[in-house]
């Protein structure tokens, strides 16, 4: 029997929760012993010539989407957001004061929530502050997540003038019934309009975020949505499987009133969307991205330079990402430091001149080795664990044995390759290399 014929059986067997591996070790292992002082130490060790990437988290949206699994909230008025920006500016000052010099920066990413919830003037204040403290390189990528429903043409023009050169629009799905179910009313014409505004403003690097596995989605609606998305010719698409994590995002329980696609249906939807996108010249990148051949992400894939970080697949080559804002996670060669998610605590720390770090994790050489092995697998579906010790290799081989017996991987010594048909199980297969993974305790979204 071929693997293709067995795929639904494999899904029944293997659809267990697994991390998304946007970091290794994954964020559920962060602990409170890592505080501002630890992070300060890591910042002080940043090398003189090391280029940095910067991230800003804006945890506000105009309206809550029922599927949302991100850190965001709905404010009663703009005032708390303006106040948040004041604190963000001070946080940038506090971090910069702990760096030995004005460091080069090659990327700035704005995520959320919805960064464009902020007024153009407030966004400009943040950019000015970053340019004061960091030496922003000429060819830096300045990316921003944008909600197509609330952006105006004037704001897009302002963003372009401020240097924003890559935009990610949240699209999710074009089907009216699906949009009603997820509390996100967003007609195709609206997305078409904002995409044109971005191009008119000179921003041609346009990404769309789409989703599958949402309530009321079917193979037919998915195919139609992909056709419509492709007709607008974005350079890159991220197509995320809906992660149902109601213990973290309580509002997601609303979706339980609908019939949800099961794991077999999710697999079918993913196959259909991959085929539809392939027909329009989109090439797969990693587990959930698709890019046109001239997009930088595909070039990175081709050149062996694709990476994965908290924002997903990236062209970013920086070893260090300094992140600002509530919940933001910074990554340095020494370890991870995450800011508090509580806005009150965030403000208090900053007003007291302290870094708002709430938790994190120090990384040792063993973690760094496994991180490289897992990142390679998540990006290229093949990896080599020869750098592990002999007993660690035996342990990994034991964990891989079931996948091998079921024909999902090919293993030659310490080299492992995931077969095409089994790529949907990549996150689960990566758990074999994860020394921190404990299946019983884990509260991740399901693997398929
Ligand atoms: C931080 S959100 C920003 C979107 C932007 N604020 C907007 O509304 O257009 C980034 C993307 O994460 C994805 N996302 C959010 N919640 C998700 C979930 N529970 N499962 C899978 N993907 C999710 C959506 O595709 C979304 O566009």
Q: 232: which DSSP letter?
A: T
Same domain, residue pair 309 and 422:
no
DSSP labels, 344-409: HHHHHHHHTT---EEEEEE--HHHHHHHHHHHHHHHHSEEE-TTS-HHHHHHHHHHHHHHHHTTSE
Nearest residue (by CA) to ligand 1, atom 4, is: 170
**Count of structural domains, the chain:** 2
Average pLDDT over residues 311-316: 92
What pLDDT is recorded for position 248? 86
At residue 1, the pLDDT reads 42
Residue 139 sits in the same domain as residue 274: yes
Q: Do 72 and 19 have their domain in common?
A: no
Does 33 share its domain with 127?
Answer: yes
Query: 263 alpha carbon to ligand 1 midpoint, in Å?
Result: 20
Position with higher pLDDT, 100 vs 59: 59
Mean pLDDT of the chain: 95
Q: Residue range 7-33: average pLDDT? A: 93
Q: What is the pLDDT of residue 377?
A: 98
pLDDT at 441: 57
Average pLDDT over residues 327-347: 97
For atom 26 of ligand 1, which residue has the closest CA?
A: 170
Confirm or reject: Cβ of 288 under 6 Å from ligand 1: no
> Among 147, 149, 170, which is best to mutate for testing ligand 1, by the most ligand atoms less than 8 A from CB?
170
Pocket test of ligand 1: the residue of 19, 56, 67 to mutate, having most ligand atoms within 8 Å of its CB, is: 67
pLDDT band at 4 (very low <50, low <70, confident <90, very high): low
Same domain, yes or no: 253 and 384: no
- Give domain status of residue 339, yes or no: no
Whether residue 82 is found in the same domain as residue 221:
yes
Residue 328 lies in a domain: no
Render pLDDT for 44-71 as a digit per residue (tens, 0 to 9).
999 989 999 999 999 999 999 999 999 9
Residues 47 and 20 in one domain: no
* Ligand 1 pocket member 209 (CB < 6 A): yes
CA 231 vs CA 142, 187, 212, 445: distances in Å:
25, 14, 18, 31
Q: Which of 171, 144, 108 is nearest to 321 (CA)?
A: 108
Task: Give the tokens for residue 101.
Answer: 């010099």
Considering the domain boundaries, does residue 83 fall inside one? yes
pLDDT on residue 442? 54
From residue 109, how far is each of 86, 88, 335 by CA, in Å?
Answer: 19, 15, 20
Query: Rounded to the nearest whole angstrom, what is the distance from the C-alpha of residue 302 to the centroid of ligand 1?
Result: 27
pLDDT at 17: 86
The tokens of 134 are what?
Answer: 């960091």
- 340: in domain: no
| Residues pairing with 313 in the sheet | 308
Check if 243 has its Cβ closer than 6 Å to any atom of ligand 1: yes
So what's the pLDDT on residue 32? Answer: 97
Range 207-220 burial, b when 16+ CB lie within 10 A, else e: bbbbbbbbbbbbee
Q: For residue 186, give Cα distances in angstroms to 82, 171, 193.
A: 27, 8, 11
* Residue 30 in contact with ligand 1 by CB distance below 6 A: no
DSSP 219-230: HHHHHHHHHHHH
Query: Relative to the CA of 245, which ligand 1 atom is closest?
Result: 19
Residue 9: domain span: 1-25+365-435
In-domain check, residue 385: yes
pLDDT tens figures, 131-167: 999 999 999 999 999 999 999 999 999 999 999 999 9
Is the same domain home to 369 and 296?
A: no
Provide the whole-model pTM: 0.95
Average pLDDT, stretch 179-187? 97
Q: Are residues 80 and 5 in the same domain?
A: no
Q: Are residues 220 and 302 both part of a single domain?
A: yes
Q: How far is the CA of 389 from the centre of ligand 1 (A)?
A: 39
pLDDT > 90 in the chain, percent: 93
pLDDT band at 448 (very low <50, low <70, confident <90, very high): confident
pLDDT at position 445 over 80 = no
Residues 208, 280 share a domain: yes
| pLDDT, position 15 | 87
Nearest to 221 by CA among 291, 285, 174: 174
CATH of the domain at 376: 1.10.10.920
- Which atom of ligand 1 sits closest to the CA of residue 211? 25
**Domain-located, residue 265:** yes
Ligand 1 pocket member 341 (CB < 6 A): no
The answer to whether the CB of 147 is under 6 A from ligand 1 is yes
- With a pLDDT cut of 70, the percent of the chain lying above it is 98
Among 153-167, 310-324, 377-391, the minimum mean pLDDT is found in: 310-324
Closest approach atom of ligand 1 to CA 61 = 6
69 lines ligand 1 (CB under 6 A): yes
C-alpha to C-alpha distance for 270 and 423, rounded to whole angstroms:
11
- Please work out whether the CB of residue 111 comes within 6 Å of at least one atom of ligand 1: yes
Average pLDDT over residues 178-199: 97
Task: Decide if 347 is inside a domain.
Answer: no
User: In terms of domains, do 251 and 392 share one?
Assistant: no
Ligand 1 atom with minimal separation from the 241 CA:
21
For residue 240 and ligand 1, the question of a CB distance below 6 A is answered with yes
Mutate which of 67, 115, 240, 445 for ligand 1? The one with the most ligand atoms within 8 Å of its CB, which is 240
């Amino acid at each position: 029997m071929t693997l293709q014929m067995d795929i639904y059986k494999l899904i029944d067997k293997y659809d267990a929760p697994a991390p998304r591996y946007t970091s290794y070790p994954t964020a559920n292992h962060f602990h409170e012993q890592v505080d501002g002082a630890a992070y300060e130490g890591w910042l002080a060790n940043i090398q003189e010539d090391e280029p940095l990437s910067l991230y800003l988290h804006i945890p506000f949206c105009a309206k809550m989407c029922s599927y949302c699994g991100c850190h965001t909230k709905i404010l009663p008025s703009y005032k708390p957001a303006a106040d948040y920006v004041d604190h963000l500016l001070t946080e940038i000052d506090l971090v910069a004061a702990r760096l030995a010099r004005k460091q080069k920066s090659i990327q700035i990413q704005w995520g959320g929530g919805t960064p464009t919830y902020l007024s153009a003037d407030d966004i400009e204040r943040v950019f000015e502050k970053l340019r004061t403290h960091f030496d922003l390189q000429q060819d830096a990528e300045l990316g921003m997540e944008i909600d197509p429903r609330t952006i105006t043409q004037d704001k897009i023009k302002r963003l372009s003038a401020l240097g924003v050169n890559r935009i990610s629009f949240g699209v999710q799905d074009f089907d009216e019934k699906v949009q009603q179910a997820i509390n996100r009313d967003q007609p195709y014409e609206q997305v078409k309009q904002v995409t044109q505004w971005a191009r008119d403003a000179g921003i041609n690097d346009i990404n769309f975020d789409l989703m599958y596995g949402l309530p009321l989605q079917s193979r037919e609606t998915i195919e139609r949505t992909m056709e419509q998305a492709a007709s607008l010719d974005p350079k890159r698409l991220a197509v995320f499987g809906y992660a149902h994590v109601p213990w973290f995002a309580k509002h997601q329980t609303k979706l339980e009133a609908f019939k949800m696609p099961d794991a077999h249906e999710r697999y079918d939807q993913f196959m259909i969307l991959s085929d539809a996108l392939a027909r329009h010249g989109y090439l797969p990148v990693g587990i959930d991205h698709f890019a046109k051949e001239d997009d930088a992400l595909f070039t990175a894939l081709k050149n062996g330079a694709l990476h994965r970080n908290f924002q997903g697949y990236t062209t970013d080559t920086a070893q260090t990402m300094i992140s600002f804002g509530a919940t933001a996670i910074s990554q340095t060669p020494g370890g991870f430091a995450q800011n508090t998610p509580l806005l009150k605590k965030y403000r208090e720390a900053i007003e007291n001149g302290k870094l708002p770090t709430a938790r994190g994790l120090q990384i040792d050489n063993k973690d760094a080795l496994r991180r490289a092995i897992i990142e390679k697998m998540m990006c290229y579906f093949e990896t080599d664990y020869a750098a592990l010790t002999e007993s660690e290799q035996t342990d990994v081989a034991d964990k891989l044995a079931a996948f091998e017996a079921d024909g999902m991987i090919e293993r030659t010594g310490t080299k492992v390759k995931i077969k095409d048909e089994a790529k949907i199980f990549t996150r689960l297969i990566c758990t074999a290399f994860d020394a921190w993974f404990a299946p019983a305790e884990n509260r991740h979204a399901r693997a398929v």
